[in-house]
């Protein structure tokens, strides 16, 4: 069994959706994660706040978020246990994040030192 | 007190009791839905046309029609109720709303509510709600905004579902996983719950197969039977075996 990080890339929800829509997404996300946890395959996860986001560059140049393109914006991640990359991908496919066009979930195996 | 509220207090318990005597106590939710529906129809119709000369007869007539429609229409009739009704009763589907049967039904309801297997707090709640028509304001409001009642019920199911979604993230246990899947069925429907249940693979757990059997009941009774049979083969206590046998018998 390996651990995989599922990385969500999407826009700042607060900018593109109503509070009701956000709440609906949150519920869907909880149901999705609950389904993984019910299989004893959930390890951990966090949402990341878009407000006050900063990016620190080479030479300590600091810029503000939010960011220009969706591919640059991280909304959160979860870590799951899976037998194979394919199983981790199957988990990722259920993510409500993917309802948004242009959004993605990146699947990366965690290297345990 | 408004006439319809008064009627609710006196007639609701009778209607529920008669429906439960007819459908079986396990169908109490359906009985409540049909009864609420009838009072909703009364509130709408009487609000427009005025109160009929004999409101009780009106209510009984409507409840009878709704009960017949329900029996004709609903799958539960095929799957659960039909086997418990005698041939004669199937051929004469009219509800027996005679004073004698109403009294008998209410007595039966009293005994059902006071059954020792129901916790005392729940007994009191059920008695106040069903036998006494208690909380008349809320209930009167509820049947005027029937949708809200359904929403509240759903909201409760969703709250329980969350409780479990969060609990499982903190501490996994097979029992919590099974309860979570059951709550999912209540909140989001059986089909969704089946898809998730089949991923759990708790293949040495009798309650896992009992849950699968429950979820498939009414959707695919053959599969339900297979799962209940597996549960039976895993069950250890006589009591568990009896419970599962009973579920198989009802398919």
CB neighbours of residue B51 within 10 Å = 14
Determine the Cα–Cα distance for residues B104 and B116; give it in Å rounded to an integer: 20
Q: A39's torsion region: left (phi>0), alpha (psi -120 to 50) or beta?
A: alpha
Q: What pLDDT score does B139 carry?
A: 41
Q: What residues contact residue A24 under an 8 Å CB cut-off, 6+ apart?
A: none
Q: How many domains does chain A have?
A: 1
When mean pLDDT is compared across A70-74, A87-91, B71-75, the lowest value belongs to B71-75
pLDDT tier at B112, thresholds 50, 70, 90: confident
Whether B188 has its CB under 8 Å from any CB of chain A: the answer is yes
Interface of B with A in 75-104 (CB under 8 A): none
Q: Which of A31, A39, A40 sits opposite B165 (nearest CB)?
A: A31
> Tokens 């609906």 map to which residue?
A24
A31, pLDDT greater than 90: yes
What domains, with CATH codes, occur in chain B? 3-144 (no CATH), 150-250 (1.25.40.10)
Whether A39 has its CB under 8 Å from any CB of chain B: the answer is yes
Q: What pLDDT score does B215 carry?
A: 95
* CATH of residue A18: 3.30.70.1060
When mean pLDDT is compared across A37-46, B123-132, B140-149, B241-250, the lowest value belongs to B140-149
ipTM of the complex: 0.80
Is residue A79 within 8 Å of A43, Cβ to Cβ?
Answer: yes
Determine the Cα–Cα distance for residues B150 and B143; give it in Å rounded to an integer: 10
Chain B residues with CB inside 8 Å of A39's CB? Answer: 177, 199-201
CB neighbours of residue B120 within 10 Å = 9
Beta bridge partners of A44: A79
Cα distance between the two ends of chain B: 46
């Amino acid at each position: 069994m390996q651990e995989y990080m599922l990385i969500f890339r999407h826009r700042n929800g607060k900018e593109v959706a109503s509070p009701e829509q956000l709440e609906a997404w949150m519920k869907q996300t909880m149901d999705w994660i609950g389904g993984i946890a019910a299989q004893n395959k959930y390890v951990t996860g966090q949402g990341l706040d878009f407000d006050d986001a900063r990016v620190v560059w080479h030479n300590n140049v600091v810029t503000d978020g939010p960011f220009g393109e969706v591919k640059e914006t991280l909304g959160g991640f979860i870590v799951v246990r899976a037998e194979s990359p394919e199983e981790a991908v199957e988990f990722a496919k259920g993510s409500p994040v993917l309802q948004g066009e242009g959004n993605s979930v990146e699947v990366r195996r965690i290297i345990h030192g | 007190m408004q006439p319809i509220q008064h009627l609710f207090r006196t007639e609701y318990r009778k209607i529920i009791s008669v429906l439960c005597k007819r459908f079986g106590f396990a169908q109490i939710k359906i009985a409540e839905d049909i009864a609420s529906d009838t009072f909703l129809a009364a509130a709408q119709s009487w609000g427009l046309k005025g109160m009929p000369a004999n409101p009780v007869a009106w209510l009984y007539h409507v409840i009878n029609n709704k009960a017949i429609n329900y029996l004709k229409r609903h799958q539960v009739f095929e799957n659960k109720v039909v086997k418990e009704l005698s041939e004669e009763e199937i051929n004469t589907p009219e509800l027996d709303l005679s004073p004698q049967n109403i009294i008998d039904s209410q007595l039966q309801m009293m005994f059902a509510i006071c059954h020792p297997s129901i916790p005392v707090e729940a007994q009191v709640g059920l008695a106040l709600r069903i036998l006494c028509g208690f909380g008349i304001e809320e209930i009167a409001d509820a049947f005027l905004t029937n949708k809200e009642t359904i929403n509240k019920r759903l909201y409760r199911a969703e709250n329980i579902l969350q409780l479990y979604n969060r609990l499982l993230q903190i501490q996994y246990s097979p029992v919590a996983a099974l309860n979570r899947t059951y709550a999912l069925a209540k909140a989001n429907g059986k089909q969704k719950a089946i898809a998730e249940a089949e991923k759990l693979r708790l293949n040495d757990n009798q309650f896992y197969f009992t849950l699968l059997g429950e979820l498939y009941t009414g959707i695919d009774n053959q599969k339900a039977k297979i799962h209940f049979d597996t549960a039976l083969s895993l069950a250890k206590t006589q009591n568990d075996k009896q419970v599962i046998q009973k579920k198989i018998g009802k398919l």
